[in-house]
Structure 1
């Protein structure tokens, strides 16, 4: 029998895993209709459905109350009845052999919710096994047959568990479907563009999303590793601090690791849909001057930069984007040689020592083009190419969001 190991104040409890729907953070307040008796502690919102919450400490002795950062509301299901249970901490799942569960009380007292015990093979603790059906009946508080498809999205079956890679992302843990994680590598050299960055990975351009794009609670905490996610032939990089382990979770927005830490499960398809720069990871194109035709999608990625106005240049022509650390001179050290510097900024556009350097390559030749800043990336297929007179342009977006950029071939400076 698979049990979820939890703690209610000083009592170690085992609950059949098949009865556990989800663990939710305890809200600041649990509003509920006032009642004279019973253990109803309030209600919690679960997927748009209000579920009653039971506090066992109002019925039985559970020791000194332990409410803290690990306190959770465990949503339980018995048939079509759902209810919540306040727990002080959530542990892991343990498998107990059938003969490892000992029934101690045989009185079938409907007012008792514990009648059996089991020893956890993981921690050695003796778990009081909760009878969820009796709990629902005793509490006379559950959300049941009234729940329909119009009330809430369908709940995942408790046994519908998938394997996730748990990653330490600094301010919280991320759970990434194991099949979507291509690899985790040391953070490569990267160039900042817009609110993200890009690098090269396996010969492809790889956009690195800002941490908050994965989850609003994430902060840029100086991660030293890059988790590369793949979806439908595209790839994105997500900064992380460490890889922790593989774990099985029932799909939900938030789950809890064996040590009670919150794990945010990443919806990879939704992440890629929100970040069109994933298109940068399509097969790299040979660097060449753009030859657009009117109204045709761009088949190569472009970088938009600000230098006497916004302009776009093919990404494949760029070897590196660097911050400008000093007033530019006539040449710049690049590897074992000096390469010419071309300052594309208009006079007094920015302080002389502020800007970004676009290292452009054309065969064996290199040139450093200085811009005020790199503005944004346009992935392959993310814009439309057209001509206006002798000029070439790329346009993105629609309506008020539409923007057009003049295309320049920086390799002409090489």
Structure 2
């Protein structure tokens, strides 16, 4: 299994084991028949045969090869769970099914997260590498799809299946089935929303939210060091407005596209499934209605249309500016929505989190030694000595940071005169034109700027205001 690039894994469970397989190898997850058709074998790990879109696919039961332990039942909401199912896998022209007990969603891993543990390259073994998940630190065994099919000596061959399918279509005068796409199904209010599997980064417990204000019903949170805009209630599914309020939703689904991200409050993550998405973009909206194989209504999400409709996703940008703000991501033409280059420099500081302030508002920055001297005679009062007079001191640091004796001080001149703001440290300076400024609502602004190979986003604080806070 190649691990030279970042991996997006579909995570699933067999007994007590947690396993992962590259999402590009997953064709579909289908229900396990109560009595699968049998393919008699004297030995091996075949659990039977299932039909998948007109072709017969052998199903492997790993429990017949290795000790998988007992199934562990966990609380609802921990992941995408669907009970016993068949994971249809495809690699190198071969399709094989795998019997699984649970499908737990998608996980992103970096190459350094993957460790090869078995080095003997035993042709009789199906696992050689493992990974520790970024969230929770649990260990996944990585499944090699091609090796699984080879060891089982059972698969459905693309060439044979394609010839049989073409002959069947020619005889019936039918057209080939529409292409399908793998989706993750989420419970949003009383409805099911299908998000393209490659666009769903993770589903996490709902974090603390902050309101944008300014008359708009939306929020944001911190996620992986970035600012993440949370979609307002009913933004996608109008019929679920009363049931999708983020305060009531226990989970947050993070959806990414082209370096941008948006958050969606959800009640539960359900399962992986496949749907034909032909004509989805022609629907003229962010979602299009369809039905699953049981006749349950499902709303398919067009992730490209989603990010075009909600340009506030730009505050989460982690890639180059031309990627984050390129074609396909702007339904509005105003600079506040798209972001404008910063006309003045900004100082990024750490207080209770990272924030930025326009350098025009800051008269001077005092390092720890100068700050200690200025605070020497304050005797605990909310003031400091500056040029022979006492000026107000605002503590912007978190309580734990405020216990440290040597802050940095930003001297700021506002409408009520000069005052000092205590911060933990000064992080970076963003020069004019070095970032993009975004306005959400009437008075909430962010600035994004490159930091090495990535791009970071900072909330802009107005420290000159009488009630300024970091």
Q: Tell me, yes or no, whether TM beats 0.5.
A: no
Q: TM-score, normalised by structure 1?
A: 0.43
User: Which structure has the larger Rg over C-alpha atoms?
Assistant: 1
The structure whose residues are more often helix, as a share, is 2
